[in-house]
Amino acid sequence: MAQYLNKYFASVFNKANEELRGNGRMTNGNEDMEVDITTSEVEAILEQLNGTKSEGPDNLHPRILKELAHEIASPLARIFNESVNSGVVPYDWRIANVVPIFKKGRKSDPSNYRPVSLTSVVCKVLEKILKEKVVKDIEVNGNWDKVQHGFTKGRSCQTNLISFFEKVTDYLDKGNAVDLIYLDFSKAFDTVPHVELLVKLEKMGINMRIERWIRNWLKGRLQRVVLKGELSGWKEVTSGVPQGSVLGPILFNLFITDLGTKSGNVLIKFADDTKLGGIANTEKDRDIIQEDLDDLVNWSNSNRMKFNSEKCKVMHLGINNKNFRYRLGMHQLEATEEEKDLGVLVDHRMTMSRQCDMAVKKANVVLGCIRRGISSKDKEVLVPLYKALVRPHLEYCVQFWSPMFKKDEFKLEQVQRRATRMIRGMENL
């Protein structure tokens, strides 16, 4: 099974494209400054390691590194400086044990598993340091993606939803019809072409030594699947950013920074999840949205990324919506009346009643499990369980979907009343 999964994971990679190599910078960044990593930086990160996490292929467990933080910080700082300034990345830092995480669907279908890479913890310490330096360079040069909310400090699913739908509801309040396009990339993190990514990093003004280190970190990577003690053979990784690494998410964000920059409508991203929305009163409005879609398809073709056309949908909002049709490349987009948007169920009426029902259902399922599995009725036992396991379902992004109707508020209150009836001394609250 491990060999079967690894063969599938490797099959989705883009082939290496060494012909594409560009020079030139968009900004005058920190050209070729020597990187100086201090002992205190390394020790601080070592002390913050989570000792319960798994080790990588080098078998250096984070708990050991954390306990020896003071003793090993200085030699590690010297190794890190030598590695970054010379551009040499050790072999152990370029291999990964891949753990397949089941998503949903048939367990026999390999496409229903997400490959999460367990890489060297020592390398992750260096990645954290380099990530901060990359972020600083991007901010200084003004190349940060203003519509990206994923893996970005101070932003979240909640800020994404509120920011996007604030504009959408403003259009609706003024009597406009609005069309929303939900876009989904196929195997986004696994198909990022390395050379195209590196060309973009060069143009963004990132320190050339860090860019060279990232290039060598991506080059010659190998992975194997680890499943219930079974090990597959090694497979070459020819594209993608490792899911489970520290640098992977920010590199992906930088790669898609130029996605949708020409959009004439509202466009927002959360990592690879992209939404496009615009007024759709007339044929001219429809054509503007279609032009944006064509531009996104052109971007995906030139960057060797594929949209999962079957999962891309259009939602029509507004009483007088004419239900225009759109295409993504050669594919006609299917209309939907509701869509799960970053974990929140959004419907074409924008009442949020369906989301309220879903949150209540999930909360009640967990409450039922607690009631059947926990014999104690003490407040000290049940209240922490309620706060940790039940309340998150009711409060996730609630600032965005807070109920509009009394009947929906009552449903939420009923969950809390059911919980209090389970606790001794709180039955009559």
What confidence tier does 205 reach under pLDDT thresholds 50, 70, 90? confident
What is the reported pLDDT for 23? Answer: 42
Q: Is a pLDDT exceeding 90 seen at residue 141? A: no
Sort 320 into a burial class: Cβ within 10 Å, 0-12 / 13-18 / 19+. Answer: exposed
- Eight-class DSSP state of 322: -
Instruction: Quote the CA–CA distance of 417 and 429 in Å, as a whole number.
Output: 8
What is the reported pLDDT for 30? Answer: 47
* Residues 404, 429, 393, 411, CA torsion sign: negative
Sort 332 into a burial class: Cβ within 10 Å, 0-12 / 13-18 / 19+. Answer: exposed
What is the reported pLDDT for 426? Answer: 81
What confidence tier does 24 reach under pLDDT thresholds 50, 70, 90? very low
> How confident is the model over 215-250, as pLDDT tens digits?
999 999 999 999 888 899 999 999 999 988 999 999
- Mean of the per-residue pLDDT values for the chain? 92
If you average pLDDT over residues 21-42, what whole number do you get? 68
What is the reported pLDDT for 31? Answer: 59
Amino acid at 240: G
- Eight-class DSSP state of 185: B
> Quick one: what percent of the chain has pLDDT higher than 90?
83
> How confident is the model over 114-136, as pLDDT tens digits?
999 999 999 999 999 999 999 99
If you average pLDDT over residues 400-409, what whole number do you get? 94
If you average pLDDT over residues 10-33, what whole number do you get? 60
Lowest mean pLDDT among 4-8, 318-322, 327-331: 4-8
If you average pLDDT over residues 63-75, what whole number do you get? 96
Q: Is a pLDDT exceeding 60 seen at residue 1? A: yes
Contact 103, 114 (CB under 8 A): yes
State residue 276 phi and psi, 5-degree precision.
-125, 130
Instruction: Quote the CA–CA distance of 214 and 130 in Å, as a whole number.
Output: 9
Amino acid at 389: L
- The residue behind tokens 């971007």 is 299
Instruction: Quote the CA–CA distance of 267 and 260 in Å, as a whole number.
Output: 7
Comparing CA positions, the residue from 215, 315, 299 lying closest to residue 260 is: 299
What is the reported pLDDT for 266? Answer: 95
> How confident is the model over 32-42, as pLDDT tens digits?
789 999 999 99
Under DSSP, is residue 317 helix (H, G, I), strand (E, B) or coil?
A: strand
Report residue 228 as tokens: 């219930």
> How confident is the model over 269-303, as pLDDT tens digits?
999 999 999 999 999 999 999 999 999 999 999 99
If you average pLDDT over residues 347-371, what whole number do you get? 95
What is the reported pLDDT for 170? Answer: 96
